[in-house]
Structure 1
Amino acid sequence: MATVTASLRLQPLSSLSSSSSPPPSSRPLYLKFNTSHRENLRYLSSLGVIPQNPRLAPAVDNLPHILSAVNFLKSNGISDEYFPRLVYLCPQLFSPTFSISETDPVFDFLAGELGASAAESRGMIVNCPSILLSDVEYCLRPTLVYLKELGVKNLNRASKTNAHVLNTRVEKLRAKMRFLKSIGFEHEEAARVCGRIPAIFGYSVEDNLRPKFEFLVYDMERELEELKKFPQYFGFSLGKRIKPRHWHLKKKGVRLSLSRMLMWGDHKFYSKWKP
């Protein structure tokens, strides 16, 4: 790859919101390709893309590829502050065995089929950089279609939940639906739960959902109808929130709705129901 002495002026990604205009005080960023090997190392280490220890520096032959990946990502609006996160979560992006051009279909999918703005697409990538490695035909597109069928909305919003759910194979999503139906939800009811609380797709059935359901039924002696009214129950920690509050109330002989039991902050809850 020929070295280029140039500067590419870019605007920083100021936030993960849908706004694409940086604040007036933002300084433009400059990506420089230099002929000096030492300057390239210094630049990449300042971004957090490579270690600062020169002994851990990548091979000379790998630098053009890393610089090319940095250039590509910055040309798509990824600002300096997010590169350490990208390297930590998805080092493959900077690997000499990976062609950054392979990510073009993902950018096209985010902008076209998902309908994400430039800022929302960048937010998706920062929240879940491995989405750039996903196959559009076999993962992203089928997942998007399935989520829309369930009624999940606003998938273009740049949240961690949306980014990770979109990057999940359909079969894993269906496993959560099967679980809800196995405990008594009708298909439409299960779909509504997933539509309202898409974060449920990120929970493990055996390590999260099932233990919470069994505690609800066997220890708390609650009915399924209560869960249907308050499916947000699944989003609370079993060990840190559900169990301590249940046993605390049981000692006092108090029974509350799931929402009152769990939605209140600790201060309000324990002030109301003092030990």
Structure 2
Amino acid sequence: MAANSTVIASLRLQPLSSFSSSSLPPSSSKPLYLKFHTSHRDNIRYLSSLGIVPQSPRLAPPANDLSIILSAVNFLKSKGISDEDFPRLVFLCPQLFSPTFDISKIDPVLEFLTGELKASVEESRGLIVNCPNILLSDVEYCLRPTLVYLKELGLRNLNRASKTNAHVLNTRVEKLRAKMRFLKSIGFEHEEAARVCGRIPAIFGYSVEDNLRPKFEFLVYDMERELEELKKFPQYFGFSLVKRIRPRHWHLKKNNVRVSLTRMLMWSDHKFYSKWKP
């Protein structure tokens, strides 16, 4: 039949299993398709649905470039990336879809994730979607040394697909050491500082001068609290100085009340301000 002659060959991919991380939406349970030998317009329509190229044929790349981009899409989907993930990847790491980018260059990173990090396909997908730029990292000079250093500090479960893990793994060792040096400079022993980083790995993402030091100075000079209290509740560093620490401290001081850092910061606004009314 004439209609059959127009049927375009398609590559059918198996549906991805739902991803368990709460920070990411589950993958679609429907089969996914990638079209390669379709018309130029169909290729544009497909890639525009992923947010990779403009919808208008006038603004889209030429056919040869589209073929390269489709190959990159196919490669990423073969590694577990789903249709729902592409808009984020395009926004945060557009060079992956440049016609001049050799997508095979990310192979070492993918091998690192599944090999040395021992991440499953789903976990690798989660780490990539949480931090797409990890795909452009150098395994030898960034990812591997960072993984070794983090393990030395006692951090575990780094293969879990969280935003913190993804960004910490993509951080150079020197930046990680800067956080350790800061903690030791204010009185933590090396083992104590390592435990803090193990309990709160997000601390590696905080700026020393813009975040950690101002919070410590406020704790010591304004709140007049001792280092030992901070050691018992290092989660203090995870709270906003402007939105939570300062206003709650001044509220307590105004009411001539002094409580532990835990009660001061962990309680909800309703519970905190209901307990100590002006």
Q: Shorter-chain TM-score category? A: over 0.9
Tell me the alpha carbon deviations over residues 121-156 of structure 1, each in whole angstroms, 9 at most, x when there is no partner.
111111111111111111100000000000011101
Partner residue of 2:214?
Answer: 211
Partner residue of 1:6?
Answer: 10
Partner residue of 1:191?
Answer: 194
Displacement after TM superposition at 1:32 (Å): 1.3
Partner residue of 1:260?
Answer: 263
Displacement after TM superposition at 1:234 (Å): 0.4
AA aligned to 1:206 is: E
Q: Which stretch of the first structure deviates more once superposed, 239-248 or 89-98?
A: 89-98
In 1, distance between residues paired with 2:272 and 2:56?
50
TM-score (norm 1): 0.93
In 1, distance between residues paired with 2:160 and 2:193?
23
Partner residue of 1:117?
Answer: 120
C-alpha contact 1:13 1:77 (8 A) present in aligned 2: no
C-alpha contact 2:137 2:143 (8 A) present in aligned 1: yes
RMSD: 1.8
Q: 1:51 aligns with which of 42, 51, 54?
A: 54
Change (3 A) 1:249 1:156: same
AA aligned to 2:165 is: N
Displacement after TM superposition at 1:55 (Å): 4.4
Partner residue of 2:19?
Answer: 15
Displacement after TM superposition at 1:164 (Å): 0.4
Partner residue of 1:99?
Answer: 102
AA aligned to 1:12 is: L
Tell me the alpha carbon deviations over residues 198-223 of structure 1, each in whole angstroms, 9 at most, x when there is no partner.
00000011111011111111111111
C-alpha contact 1:78 1:122 (8 A) present in aligned 2: yes
Q: Does 1 or 2 have the higher relative contact order (CA < 8 Å, sep 6+)?
A: 1
AA aligned to 1:254 is: V
Displacement after TM superposition at 1:9 (Å): 1.9
Structure 1 residues without counterparts, runs of 5 or longer: none
Displacement after TM superposition at 1:107 (Å): 1.1
C-alpha contact 2:197 2:203 (8 A) present in aligned 1: yes
Change (3 A) 1:63 1:215: same
Percent of aligned positions with the same letter in both sequences? Answer: 82
C-alpha contact 1:10 1:29 (8 A) present in aligned 2: yes
Structure 2 residues without counterparts, runs of 5 or longer: 1-7
In 1, distance between residues paired with 2:135 and 2:228?
41
